[in-house]
Structure formats: C-alpha cells, structure tokens
Amino acid sequence: PLKTAAGVKGGVERTFIAIKPDGVQRGMISEVIHRFERKGYKLVAIKAIVPPKALAEEHYGDLKARPFYPGLVSYMTSGKAPVIAMVWEGVDVIRQGRRIIGATNPLDAEPGSIRGDYTISVGRNAIHGSDSFESATIEIGLWFKPEEVYNWQFAHAEWIESKN
Ligand code: IDP
Ligand code: MG
C-alpha cells in the first residue's frame, strides 16, 4: 500500500512511533496520539509492550558503542511502565513525525514539539520516531507482526489528501 520512499513530499509512508516508559508514566499517551491524529495521520497498529531485552537492544543497535546504551536499554525494558508501540501512516509521516516529536535533546527541541513541550532530559525524552524510510521499515518489522498492521482507508480521505 505504500507508494513512495521517505522524504518524497506527497508520498504515503509508514513510521514507527513509540511512547517510552517515562512518557507513559507521565500520562502522555493521549497527547501523543492526539498530535498525530489531528494532523491527519492514520493509526494502523498499536500495542502496549514491555520489550524483551533483545528487542530493545536491536532497536537501538546503532547506539551499541555509546556510553549511555546500557542505561537506555534498561530504561526501555524496566517494566515500570510499558512502551506504547504504534505505526502511523500518511503523506511524509516519517519526516513530519520527527518534527512533531522534536530534537533528540529536549533542550534543543522547539516549543510546540512534544519533547520541547514536555521534557528536559535526553535520557527521558518520552518518545521515539523513525528517522528514515530504512529505519522505519526495520523498526516496524521488529516491533510488529505483519498481521498486527492494518490496511484501512479514511472514509473522508479526499478531505485530507488532495489529488490535485
Ligand atoms: P532519537 O530518539 O531522536 O532518534 P537517537 O540519537 O537515535 O535519538 O538516540 C536514541 C535515544 O537514545 C534517544 O531518544 C535518547 O533516549 C537516548 N540518548 C541519545 N543520546 C543520549 C545521551 O547523550 N544520554 C542519554 N540518552 C541518550
Ligand atoms: Mg534515532
């Protein structure tokens, strides 16, 4: 169902968005969903999950060499709150999702972004979003079985996605 690759304006994409345990503890689930839903994006998969260590390690595999990696993995896997894992679909959603979320370090994140509005610590920045088409594809496959991701259409799609 996906027509084009990331970064192509007008292309329908899917991205992996996760509310991390601190975001769940802080009551941010509805706020995060609200921001994506109100923009016109479509929720095609969602679940609460305490990720097994192997999943968290693989998800953040590119950061393995970083000093904060063990702490990052234990923060994600503690089980003190689950992760809310989601797939959102829509035009340019990978790049727009990163804008909605804001910069990795909340002290650099613009007010109006989720991290900019709610967080102050890079180690507790509340939310994850895929940074490219390649990582979105990998992350969706890591966190979801194919049958957990739904193909469905907005009845009002013509009012969100103009074809002209
Ligand atoms: P991103 O989440 O904005 O894509 P990445 O650089 O991919 O940022 O880092 C993944 C996650 O690792 C961050 O969201 C944050 O939770 C954590 N992280 C990144 N840098 C630091 C750091 O310097 N200290 C502690 N945690 C960090
Ligand atoms: Mg990242």
| Proximal ligand: closest to the CA of 66 | 1
Give, for all 164 residues of the chain, the pLDDT tens digit.
455 544 455 589 999 999 999 999 999 999 999 999 999 999 999 999 999 999 999 999 999 999 999 999 999 999 999 999 999 999 999 999 999 999 999 999 999 999 999 999 999 999 999 999 999 999 999 999 999 999 999 999 999 888 77
pLDDT of 2 reads 59
Q: Which ligand is nearest to the CA of 18?
A: 1
Residue 11: its pLDDT value, please? Answer: 87
Q: Which two tokens stand for residue 60?
A: 């953040």
pLDDT of residue 164: 73
| Residue closest by Cα to atom 9 of ligand 1 | 104
* 20, 143, 146, 151: CA torsion to nearest 10: 20
The span from the CA of 146 to the CA of 131, in Å, is 21
Instruction: Please state the ipTM of this predicted complex.
Output: 0.99
Residue 8 is predicted with a pLDDT of 54
Q: How far is the CA of 101 from the centre of ligand 1 (A)?
A: 13
- Atom 12 of ligand 1, nearest CA residue: 72
**Residue 31 C-alpha to ligand 1 middle, in angstroms?**
21
**Is the CA virtual torsion 136, 62, 56, 95 positive or negative?**
negative
Ligand 1 first shell, C-beta below 6 A = 63, 68, 72, 104, 122-123, 125, 128, 131
**pTM, 2 dp:** 0.95
Residues in the chain: 164
Instruction: For helices 29-39 and 93-101, give the axis angle rounded to 10 degrees.
Output: 140
